[in-house]
Amino acid sequence: METAPKPGRDVPPKKDKLQAKKKKPRRYWEEETTPTAAGASPGAPRKKRNRELRPQRPKNTHTPKRSCISKRPQVSKKSREWRNPEPQRSLSGPQDPFPGPAPVPVEVAQKFRRIDKSKKLPYSKSKTRSRLELAEAEEEEISVKAARSELLLAEEPGFLEGEDGEDTAKISQTDIVEAVDIASAAKHFDLNLRQFGPYRLNYSRTGRYLALGGRRGHVATLDWVTKKLMCEINVMEAIRDIRFLHSEALLAVAQNRWLHIYDNQGIELHCIRRCDRITRLEFLPFHFLLASASETGFLTYLDVSVGKIVAALNARAGRLDVMTQNPYNAVIHLGHSNGTVSLWSPAMKEPLGKILCHRGGVRSVAVDSTGTHMATSGLDHQLKIFDLRGTFQPLNTRTLPLGAGHLAFSQRGLLAAGMGDVVNIWAGQGQASPPSLEQPYLTHRLSGHVHGLHFCPFEDVLGVGHNGGITSMLVPGAAEPNFDGLESNPYRSRKQRQEWEVKALLEKVPAELICLDPRALAEVDVISLEQEKKERIERLGYDPEAKAPFRPKPKQKGRSSTASLVKRKKKVMDEEHRDKVRQSLEQQLQKEEKTAKPMRTQSSALDRFVH
């Protein structure tokens, strides 16, 4: 009789999950175990390496180490990869038909280069030459990177174009406001301030804030984009001019008697009585200098970082009421009543140059952002554009019916002129070309006579101050569409502004470096170098660089130690110096004997029998 198997017999027991051994996780610092260690079937035993077959190095032999310094110039790895890009290999699928980075046009990269490769490198030591070649390679790599990053600048400059040959000067501001978007249309506005006019105005370097000052004492600063008022006061005194300093937190106001400094809350911080009867103000941002022209004919430079007057120059030309700055080299241009424009620097007491511009007095002067062209208007009703690249000759001339009383250049080279209650704007073929004075680009009529013009940075806006208040005009294509966030950021916070101020103060340019050609600062002053060399030769009595220095020959038996070499060099130098001094003394004695006149004795009657 068959019996059923008992449970537990001949039946494999079920594995308990808790009793099963869990595999221990391997840490990243532990080595991976071999399968033989885990209990796998042992394979064939590993053969030990035959160390006897290796050629053993003798213990006492010296192997020369390879030099870490290569004779070729060390070029960075990135530049080598850019020159010889390796094709990218794909694991699967078709190969990339365009491997490596996209090529950069030579014309685009050329405008970012600063080193002129047309000039040959001077003869120098191999170490210096390798450094120069390395600097050229790095500069080439940086220019290519800058050309590639230009693709990230999404904004493009605007322009105004008529239909079927329509004259753009006939397009009014109302038509432009209706054609643009809502955000741009909000930038056109009129402030009716007839009670305290006429007005002078100034935009901050970031283009976000506007400062305005009325002739009857009204001072106000506001965020003109959001129309938020920062401060508004009345100084109960006539205001001649107004300027922002290095940031929107400080404001300089030229009042009837003295120069006053206010903060963005309208609190007076300083009253500078040494600057009296000021007519015009200009601020040099990279030098932290506030230049002021007065009725007494003095041009004063005030360093706002330390609160000291750097220079007070007498122009000797009477009242100064026409002044502007060259943004390229920080030179001040003054217009005079005799028709000349003088160029000034705080490092010199005399003008750097004078240009005869008009037959009558000069009414207004303006210089473009590149420092290439200067526009002037005079009492002879002429508007002229001069070339400042060394020739100082007029390029364009136009006779206006009323004459321009105020001029202003935009960031892209547009020229605005205020003639009575009309503002005309002329445009050129490009940013580097001078504006064409044949046909105006835009024309606008105001409710009062113009007393101030200023283009807003990074915005296609022209601010006009007149008898009736302030007018903000839309001028397509006037400003640069992209800004540098590290230099002029319109959206920066308070902490970012403070950090920028600290950096700008550390990078402040001394006032002594202001000159007509800033590129001359990077060159060697050959004239001064030769003059110093002559003075040194006269002082020593010989030329120490005329002969190559003495190099002692190496000797054996310990006679070529450092001390003995220095002693031998000094001995030879002393002998040469002694010989040269002896020769110079002999030459001086010979010169003195030639120049010395013979002593005259008393004449005698027998002197005629000497010869």
Which residues are CB-neighbours of 143 under 8 A, at least 6 positions away?
109, 110, 112, 113
For residue 565, the 8-state DSSP code is: H
Helix (H) or strand (E) holding 239: strand 239-244
Instruction: Give Rg (Cα) of the chain.
Output: 40
pLDDT at 101: 78
Q: For residues 475 and 460, give the distance between their C-alpha atoms in angstroms, rounded to a whole number.
A: 5
Cβ 425 vs Cβ 416: under 8 Å:
yes
pLDDT at 135: 84
Q: What is the pLDDT of residues 518-541, one digit of tens each?
A: 888 877 778 888 888 889 888 877
Place of tokens 């010869």: 611
The values of phi and psi at residue 231, to 5°, are -155, 160
Which tokens belong to 42?
């042992």
Q: For residues 7 and 169, give the distance between their C-alpha atoms in angstroms, rounded to a whole number.
A: 108
Instruction: Select from 550, 554, 534 the least CA-distant residue to 542.
Output: 534
Give SS3 for 594: helix
Q: For residues 215 and 237, give the distance between their C-alpha atoms in angstroms, rounded to a whole number.
A: 8
Q: Could you say which residues of the chain have pLDDT below 70?
A: 1-94, 115-125, 430-432, 547-549, 558, 596-602, 608, 610-611
pLDDT at 406: 95
Please measure the distance between the N-terminal and C-terminal CA atoms of the chain and give it in whole angstroms.
Answer: 180
pLDDT at 38: 42
Q: For residues 131 and 108, give the distance between their C-alpha atoms in angstroms, rounded to a whole number.
A: 26
Give SS3 for 399: strand
pLDDT at 134: 86
Cβ 363 vs Cβ 403: under 8 Å:
yes
Which residues are CB-neighbours of 311 under 8 A, at least 6 positions away?
299, 300, 301, 346, 347, 511
pLDDT at 30: 57
